[in-house]
């Protein structure tokens, strides 16, 4: 008999989707551990360390998910695409009837079955030591998925201009699916800066995504 695939889980919890197109939708979040990017503003640093995660089979993950009252599931991280079994997880969740979102930075391509591909490519200037913006990978990912969104995490106007340059240079995305999100990991910072990012979104005619979980101070 083959070895049962397991995935390292940082946490599984029930909350309200705080970002993007499905903002406000009650959802189960399956947070896979491990991320090679190490963004300085990361608000889930506790998920970086694989050695602290518990490993669960896909059946066990489905069992834990089924205990929580939501039809929407978000597979997130960390960076879930580092795990070869992530495609099997999303397929199993879809087969179980869930609406599945996968959150990824878009640095690794994998075939995954989901209802919403949620990309959060990192601006090259914010992580200069890593090749964070990979147009070939992003192109393959969005070719697989009818529904997608692209969230650029920005802190200032030069970040917005950099995002626009990438959008113009590579012409990968339908602009209606692109949004700006304030770079914040704490409510106090978010409260001071979200309005500025919203005004930049207005200025450059891009969609703004709030971060509702920070505003509400919930997980
Ligand atoms: S890609 Fe996401 S999980 Fe990884 S370090 Fe950056 S913000 Fe954190």
- List per-residue pLDDT tens for the chain, 219 residues long: 567 889 999 999 999 999 999 999 999 999 999 999 999 889 899 999 999 899 999 999 999 999 999 999 999 999 999 999 999 999 999 999 999 999 999 999 999 999 999 999 999 999 888 889 999 999 999 999 999 999 999 999 999 999 999 999 999 999 999 999 999 888 889 999 999 999 999 999 999 999 999 988 888
Residue 216 in any domain: the answer is: no
Element (H, E) at 207: strand 207-208
pTM of the full predicted structure?
0.96
pLDDT tens for each residue of 121-180:
999 999 888 889 999 999 999 999 999 999 999 999 999 999 999 999 999 999 999 999
Q: Could you tell me the distance, in angstroms and rounded to a whole number, from the CA of residue 123 to the centre of ligand 1?
A: 12
Residue ranges making up the domain that contains 42: 6-154
Backbone angles phi, psi at 73, to 5 degrees: -125, 140
In angstroms, the Cα distances linking 97 to 7, 43, 100, 119, 217 are 21, 30, 9, 23, 30
Check which CATH number belongs to the domain holding 36 and give it. 3.20.20.70
Residue 93 in any domain: the answer is: yes
Q: What is the best residue among 38, 39, 40, 130 to mutate for testing ligand 1's pocket, by most ligand atoms within 8 Å of CB?
A: 39
Residue 113 in any domain: the answer is: yes
Instruction: Tell me if 38 sits within 8 A of 44, measured CB to CB.
Output: no
Residue 59 in any domain: the answer is: yes
Domain count along the chain: 1
Q: Could you tell me the distance, in angstroms and rounded to a whole number, from the CA of residue 1 to the centre of ligand 1?
A: 36
């Amino acid at each position: 008999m083959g070895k049962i695939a397991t995935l390292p889980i940082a946490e599984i919890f029930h909350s309200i989707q705080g970002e993007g197109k499905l903002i406000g939708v009650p959802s189960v979040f399956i947070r896979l551990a491990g991320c090679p990017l190490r963004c300085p503003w990361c608000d889930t640093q506790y998920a970086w360390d694989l050695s602290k995660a518990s490993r669960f089979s896909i059946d066990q993950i489905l069992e834990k998910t089924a205990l929580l009252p939501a039809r929407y599931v978000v597979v997130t991280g960390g960076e879930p695409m580092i795990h070869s079994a992530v495609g099997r997880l999303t397929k199993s969740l879809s087969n179980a009837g869930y609406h599945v979102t996968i959150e990824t930075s878009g640095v690794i391509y994998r075939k995954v079955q989901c209802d919403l591909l949620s990309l959060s490519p990192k601006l090259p200037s914010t992580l200069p030591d890593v090749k964070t913006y990979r147009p070939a990978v992003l192109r393959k990912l969005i070719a697989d998925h009818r529904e997608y969104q692209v969230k650029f995490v920005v802190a200032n106007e030069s970040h917005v201009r950099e995002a626009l340059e990438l959008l113009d240079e590579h012409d990968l995305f339908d602009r209606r699916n692109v949004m700006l999100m304030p770079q914040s990991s704490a409510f106090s910072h978010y409260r001071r800066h979200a309005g500025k990012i919203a005004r930049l979104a207005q200025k450059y005619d891009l969609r703004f995504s709030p971060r509702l979980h920070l505003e509400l101070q919930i997980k």
